Amino acid sequence: MHHESPIKRRKSRQIMVGDVPVGGDAPIAVQSMTNTETCDVDATVGQIQRLQNAGADIVRVSVPSMEAAEAFGEIRKQVTVPLVADIHFDYRIALRVADLGVDCLRINPGNIGREKRIRAVVDKARDMNIPIRIGVNAGSLEKDLQKKYGEPTPAALVESALRHVSILQDLNFDNFKVSVKASDVFMAVDAYRLLAKEIDQPLHLGITEAGGLRAGTVKSAVGLGALLLDGIGDTIRISLAADPVEEVKVGWDLLKSLKLRTKGVNFIACPSCSRQNFDVIKTMNELETRVEDITVPLDVAVIGCVVNGPGEAKEADLGLAGGTPSNLVYVDGQPDSKLTNESLVDDLEKLIRRKAAEKEQSEKNIIARY
């Protein structure tokens, strides 16, 4: 199996969101956003921790009021993952969360108002080394651009983004990243492709308001997948009308499928058919949940019969090929042991954990040697 992604990434500058590098040759960062009431500090902290445990590199929190800004300060003290504050219009909120330890401001400079206010926010961001995300959205395009283009278009989104970019650049501020989101896959993909040619700052990808868990996942995978295959994108957020933890899981699966990042168990499983010698779907469903905590990258094949079983199982770190009376386990491509259908999930989980521990240890040994 090829472990290296053949994707050639667009060269972008690197910025730092807290201690997470975004852009350049940094791994593509997975983001999500809380959907709790920000003023409910306990609920928001709890959700941020769940997102972090699921693998979120960066978490965004909306800060709609000064009261929420104070709550943000409390939240900041209780979590370790870098936090982006999502702010619309009110520059005082941006100044306050900067003092309270924000790692990135999502604010569009063109929407802040008078130049004095823009300058105050940008100066503060510069002094405190806080990056800004310009976030253009097809649903909230400026009125004059809506008039000029008749409706949101990729060119309109990019023109809007470049307006905000030029405000920052006029103030000699280049510590920013940009998103041009739309719920329409074609519009978002075209907009990002156009924007990628115009600036060298990192791009934050997203298909906005993509929909519920299944349809939103597919839409995001198609749109973001097309861009990532082009080498475009430095950080991603999957927007789902679902538990944000699902956004993180989908983000990871997307990056894993393109071999842009590795983490945890990558299952190779057959869809099953009447030839299966054990219940593939039930086994997969149980295993997937049980081994969610494993972070070391591991390919595990779960294949129902000998048609494709040995071939796939041999390619994986650990593979199971269904057989009667017992199923055959391969480790590192070699036949290793046999498992019967009774306690199959328990036995497989043990083998996966053993292999993960071995791999982790050998990675530690390699690091220690250098």
Site string for ligand SF4, 232-271 (x = CB under 6 A): --------------------------------------xx
Nearer to ligand SF4, 315 or 358 (CB): 315
Cis peptide bond prior to 310, omega within 30° of 0: no
Q: How far is the CB of 353 from ligand SF4 (least distance, A)?
A: 25
Q: Does 217 bind ligand SF4 (CB under 6 A)?
A: no
Q: How far is CA 369 from CA 9, 13, 296, 360, 365, in A?
A: 30, 31, 19, 14, 6
Q: How far is the CB of 317 from ligand SF4 (least distance, A)?
A: 19
> CA–CA separation, 318 vs 308, rounded Å?
15
> CA–CA separation, 84 vs 64, rounded Å?
13
Nearer to ligand SF4, 258 or 306 (CB): 306
Burial class, 273, CB count within 10 angstroms (exposed 0-12 / middle 13-18 / buried 19+):
exposed
Nearer to ligand SF4, 1 or 273 (CB): 273
Nearer to ligand SF4, 47 or 277 (CB): 277
Q: How far is CA 204 from CA 106, 177, 227, 233, in A?
A: 11, 7, 11, 6
Q: Does 305 bind ligand SF4 (CB under 6 A)?
A: yes
Q: Does 308 bind ligand SF4 (CB under 6 A)?
A: yes
Q: How far is the CB of 112 from ligand SF4 (least distance, A)?
A: 57
Among left, alpha and beta (phi > 0; psi -120 to 50; other), residue 158 is alpha
What tokens were used for 131? Answer: 């990056």
Q: How far is the CB of 307 from ligand SF4 (least distance, A)?
A: 4
Q: How far is the CB of 237 from ligand SF4 (least distance, A)?
A: 34
Identify the residue among 7, 281, 307, 331 touching ligand SF4 (CB under 6 A): 307
What tokens were used for 326? Answer: 């017992």
Q: Does 344 bind ligand SF4 (CB under 6 A)?
A: no
Contacts (Cβ under 8 Å, ≥6 apart) of 328: 309, 310, 313, 320, 321, 335, 338
What tokens were used for 116? Answer: 């004095």
Nearer to ligand SF4, 138 or 284 (CB): 284
Q: Does 303 bind ligand SF4 (CB under 6 A)?
A: yes
**Touching ligand SF4, residues 271-290 (CB under 6 A):** 271-273, 275-276
Binding stretches for ligand SF4 (CB under 6 A)? 270-273, 275-276, 303-305, 307-309
